[in-house]
Structure 1
Amino acid sequence: MSVFEAATQLSFWGPIVFFCIGVPAALFNVIIFIGFKTFRKSPSVYYVVGQSLLDVSVLLLVLLPVIPSVSLSVSSTSCKLGLFFSQVTVSGAMSFLCLTAFDRWACTSRSARIRRLNSNRIARYLCLFTFLFWSFVNIPYLIFCDLIPPTYICFSTNDVFTKIAFYFLGPFFSTVFPLLVLIIFIILTHRNIRLTAHIHDQQQPDRTRSSMWEQQMTRMMVAQTILSIFCTLPRAILNIYSAITLEQSATKSFNQISIELLIDQLTVSIMSINYVSSFYIYFLCSPRLRQTIKIHLKSLCHLTSNEVVPINNSLRAVPLTIVQNRMIQH
């Protein structure tokens, strides 16, 4: 198999595999974190649910080009809307990862003023702001993108916007900036945890259920953030390389183009782990989440254990006495 064929196969099967793995996991996140009162208490739930909904959207938009009957080149409207929603969902999903990292930093801070940022009200405002911000920033895709004849490829029709999108909107907002934010907040969160761990052990030896759950939430979000950093880094490096070598694209050989295409598909697949892994990370890192899922699955499947109910002996004595009297009479 040639390099070009390998890239083609990966571009076809990758979205299908990630869609089958990621969509059920994202829906489980939404059901669990909204359905159970225990999980709704943490502001991180807003970010988890928002990220999960956008993960489903990203995986669906990535899957659509694989379907032969679906194409962005069908009409001008589908071209504009397809590129617009692709940018909004990808940027939004990465933003929610960053908001999750920010929330854990605020939650673990020793400063009471910073800890107040970890609230349901602020989480609701930030979620709404994220959707509105990315919808506004990506409006130019609705204006400057269209079908370009004679091949009718869906692309930008404005040279200035093409350069802005290729050098700034695509690589910076989708990969480089989120990567920097994730790295900064994971370092700050790790520092907060180290500074406050011994204080909590000395002053609060008997931890409440709420504090234990917040610790598990922190473990879950930190693990997800670390994985996201490693998954986003290859794509960020490739975007920087592509921006630097854009002027040399006309002189590249077919072999070089094929290799770059394969690397492009590999980095896309690696970055797609961000959109499919959250539920599995949370499940592995949180014993309480596993226990909750186990209990509700048993209840749903009617597999609850049999309970031994004590019987009142005085209630049994009455019928026994009646039987004995009847035996004496006979």
Structure 2
Amino acid sequence: MELTMAQLASIGRWLNISLGSFMLIIGLAGSIINLWLFTRHRYRKSPCSRFILTSSIFDMLHLLVALFPRVLAEGFDIDPASWSTAGCRIRYYLITFSAYTALGCRCLAVFDRYACTSRSISFRQWSSFKIAYRFITINILIWACFSLPNFLFFNLVPMGTPLRLVCYIWKQEYYNYFAYFVNPVLYFALPLVIFILFTILTQKNLRMMKKSTRVKRLERQMTSMIILQAISNSVSSIPYGVQFAYSVVSHNAKKDAYRLAQEHLFLQITRLSYYINFITAFYIYYISSHQIRATIKRHLKFKEVSKTKEHTSLLNLSKE
């Protein structure tokens, strides 16, 4: 039995409200825990922690400027970006800036793990705090400048039936640039190649130095964490790549209203899967690192002991 157009629209709305809200909450919580975790003394010892901290900050920013307004717009028909031209342009500047800066930090983290596990002493020097700070600064500056055209080419455009103002790219050439180069190449293909290449090379380094004690336990765990995150990012990018490929292939095809409704639902699903990259970091680290699990459990246990002592003290005071 085929679903009606109204049912397809309801499913999309429900997914954005329920799943989108859930992803927003766990994503923000995970980023906040990462900020707390990787500013602790033990984890600050690794240069890779700087990439994790920076990506966590921009993950949080991206969720607030991209996912949160999307939940409001697709789930509740409240689109803050359509309220003013300035708001529209600022939002899409921050969306592009935060997404690519966070992604750049993840690519740099994978490279850092490869450098850290290299047998070459000179190449291992690329894994240092000095290099990490330089890479992070360059990464932020590149994407801050790269996103500036959004201020020119995003505007409130009348779209849909009935017509309503939507924040969208108003110049076709810039739309083509984003649709056929920026998104497929810079967001999907290039990071995927970097993740796969340096994950394979790092795994090769780890096998070659399996019996070596040169790499500290913390660095080994950090390496495992980053490799798993790279794999997760690669897999979660596949639906986005499939959706883009389909949209290009079927661009000139004649489509009835029902097919457009089906494609819109598929688009909602792939857009939500896109945010997996920005919400899973902490949970991957927690699963893959014994030290992180121990740190969090120890902190929670300390909190419980503190509360018990405080409660006991209050009882003793009341008895007196």
TM-score for the superposition, normalised by structure 1: 0.83
Counterpart in the other structure of 1:318? none
Alignment gaps of 5+ in structure 1: 307-330
2:105 to 91, 96, 99: 96
Counterpart in the other structure of 1:217? 222
Give 1:107-126 correspondences, 5 Å limit: 107-126=116-135
Counterpart in the other structure of 1:156? 169
1:31 to 31, 36, 52: 36
244 and 92 in structure 1: CA distance in 2 versus 1, 3 angstrom threshold: farther
Give 1:1-330 correspondences, 5 Å limit: 2-34=7-39, 36-61=40-65, 62-67=67-72, 69-149=78-158, 151-198=164-211, 200=212, 204=213, 211-248=216-253, 251-303=254-306
* Structure-1 separation of matches of 2:179 and 2:249: 11
**Cα offset for 1:171?**
2.7
Q: 1:65 touches 1:71 (CA, 8 Å); kept in 2?
A: no
Structure possessing the higher radius of gyration over alpha carbons: 1
* Structure-2 separation of matches of 1:12 and 1:95: 29
* Structure-1 separation of matches of 2:12 and 2:170: 27
**Cα offset for 1:305?**
11
Alignment gaps of 5+ in structure 2: 310-320
Amino acid at match of 2:129: N
* Structure-2 separation of matches of 1:260 and 1:279: 32
Moved more, 146-155 or 112-121: 146-155
Amino acid at match of 1:293: I
> Deviations for 1:117-139, whole angstroms, at most 9, x for unmatched residues?
11111111111111111111111
21 and 163 in structure 1: CA distance in 2 versus 1, 3 angstrom threshold: same
* Structure-1 separation of matches of 2:152 and 2:300: 49
Q: 1:298 touches 1:304 (CA, 8 Å); kept in 2?
A: no
Identical positions, percent: 28
Q: 1:235 touches 1:271 (CA, 8 Å); kept in 2?
A: yes
Moved over 6 A (4+): none
Amino acid at match of 1:90: A
Q: 1:175 touches 1:232 (CA, 8 Å); kept in 2?
A: yes
> Deviations for 1:141-198, whole angstroms, at most 9, x for unmatched residues?
1111111246322112222112111111223222222122111111111111122214
* Structure-1 separation of matches of 2:262 and 2:189: 22
76 and 305 in structure 1: CA distance in 2 versus 1, 3 angstrom threshold: closer
SS at match of 1:247: coil
**Cα offset for 1:297?**
2.5
Counterpart in the other structure of 2:317? none
**CA RMSD between the two structures:** 2.2
Aligned residue pairs, count? 295
SS at match of 2:305: coil
